[in-house]
Structures are given as structure tokens and as C-alpha cells.
Chains A and B, each alone.
Chain A
Amino acid sequence: GNSVTQMEGPVTLSEEAFLTINCTYTATGYPSLFWYVQYPGEGLQLLLKATKADDKGSNKGFEATYRKETTSFHLEKGSVQVSDSAVYFCALSQGGSTLGRLYFGRGTQLTVWP
């Protein structure tokens, strides 16, 4: 079946620190991979995505590379800001599906202190 495992939080960092949030997946076929972010009091919004192996998604200084050999899609940012404090969700979409259903990880709470 399809599943996503991401590192448990909470993660607490000082401003300008380096961020890594690990994400691994199990899927049949060739899934697309996503990171969504949820800021306090808001719904989820797409942060970045990658649709095939070795693709790198990037947005707002965040990056993640689709690694088929390790079934991973780790989220990284070189220098976090207080405004990055949010919950981050890794997700996959089953390859070949036209229904767009996503399978989500449990989320990782990130808090950045000034």
C-alpha cells in the first residue's frame, strides 16, 4: 500500500539554523511527492513538489530531492526564519492516478526562535 513516514516533532531551531525534516515513503508504481505547509490558523498549502526520480522541488528557500533508491524526499532549508514556524506535511500521490488522492505523513511541527 501507500504510506508516508516523516520524522516526529516538534523541531525547535534558532533563526538562521539549518533545517532537515526527513520523509520516506512506500508506494507502488511511480508516485509524485509533495511537501505541504500549514501556518497557524490556516489550511494547508503546497510548498513544493517533485514528479519523478531525481527531480528537485524548491520554493521559498526550501528544497527536497526525489530519491527513488532510498524512497526519500527530505525537506531542507539552509537558514530558517521565525516566519517558517509551521507544521510541515510530506505527501505522495499514487502514480497513474487521475483522482489526485494524497497520502499524508503525520506532520512535523517546526518552531523557530529569534
Chain B
Amino acid sequence: DVKVTQSSRYLVKRTGEKVFLECVQDMDHENMFWYRQDPGLGLRLIYFSYDVKMKEKGDIPEGYSVSREKKERFSLILESASTNQTSMYLCASSLRPGRAGELFFGEGSRLTVL
């Protein structure tokens, strides 16, 4: 079975802390994505990566950075967490080339910033 694993289901951090959200996939997928999910706003793309050490900004990259040192791992970094970054974060992966749009999602990491 395909698997996307996010390291933490729930995190509570303080304003100004540096936060790492880790995502690992075991499907040898080229593409990996970080989305943010907020009620009434749906899913918004933060960053994505189509290869090791490659990254592209999504729609809301401000306040975030990413790292992809290995194909299977894609990390989302909040350099200085703020309360407006309280949200559910979803990692996903997909093949490239392949069946366009067939994303496989992790279970999500719910971050609360106090």
C-alpha cells in the first residue's frame, strides 16, 4: 500500500519558535507538495518540489520554507511561527510523469501556535 507519513499529528508551539514538519513517502514519487487546509478556504498550496533539491513556490509561500535533500522526504519549515499559521498542514506526493493529479496524502499535522 502507498504511504505518505507525516511525523507529527498534533503540535503546539509558541510564537517565534522554529517549527519543522516532516513528510516521508515510500512510493518513489518525484513530486511532493505541502498544502495548508483552513475551514472555508479549502486547500492552499504552500510549496512543491519535483525533484531532489528543487522547489517551487505555491500560492502562499510567505513565512514558510522547504527542504528536499532526499527523494522520499520533504520538510516544511516555519522560521518564526506566528498565530496566523495555526492550521492543518497536509503533505502529498505524486508520480512524474504519470497520472496527472493523482495525489496521495498524509493524514495531516495540526499545528497550534500560541
Interface residues, chain A, with chain B CB atoms under 8 Å away: 32, 34, 36, 41-46, 49, 51, 89, 91-93, 97-102, 104-107
Interface contact B102-A104, CB-CB below 8 Å:
no
CB-CB under 8 A from A41, the residues of chain B are: 107
Which of B4, B43, B101 is the one whose CB lies under 8 Å from A100? B101
Interface contact B42-A100, CB-CB below 8 Å:
no
Interface residues, chain B, with chain A CB atoms under 8 Å away: 4, 31, 33, 35, 40-43, 45, 48, 50, 56, 58, 90, 92, 94-98, 100-103, 105-108
Interface contact B90-A100, CB-CB below 8 Å:
no
CB-CB under 8 A from A99, the residues of chain B are: 31, 48, 50, 56, 96
Q: A98-B96, A100-B98 are in contact. Are A106 and B105 (CB under 8 A)?
A: no
Interface contact B96-A93, CB-CB below 8 Å:
no
Closest 8 CB pairs of A and B: A93-B101, A43-B105, A106-B42, A100-B94, A104-B43, A44-B105, A93-B100, A43-B107
CB-CB under 8 A from A104, the residues of chain B are: 35, 42-43
Interface contact B101-A43, CB-CB below 8 Å:
no
Q: How far is the CB of A87 from chain B (nearest CB, A)?
A: 9
Interface CB pairs A-B, < 8 A, 13: A43-B4, A43-B108, A44-B43, A44-B90, A51-B100, A93-B100, A98-B96, A99-B48, A99-B50, A100-B98, A100-B103, A104-B35, A106-B41
Query: How far is it, in angstroms, between the C-alpha of A89 and the C-alpha of B44 when the chains are bound?
Result: 12
CB-CB under 8 A from B92, the residues of chain A are: 43-44
Interface contact A46-B103, CB-CB below 8 Å:
yes
Q: A42-B107, A44-B90, A99-B48 are in contact. Are A105 and B100 (CB under 8 A)?
A: no
Interface contact B102-A101, CB-CB below 8 Å:
no
CB-CB under 8 A from A91, the residues of chain B are: 101
CB-CB under 8 A from B56, the residues of chain A are: 99
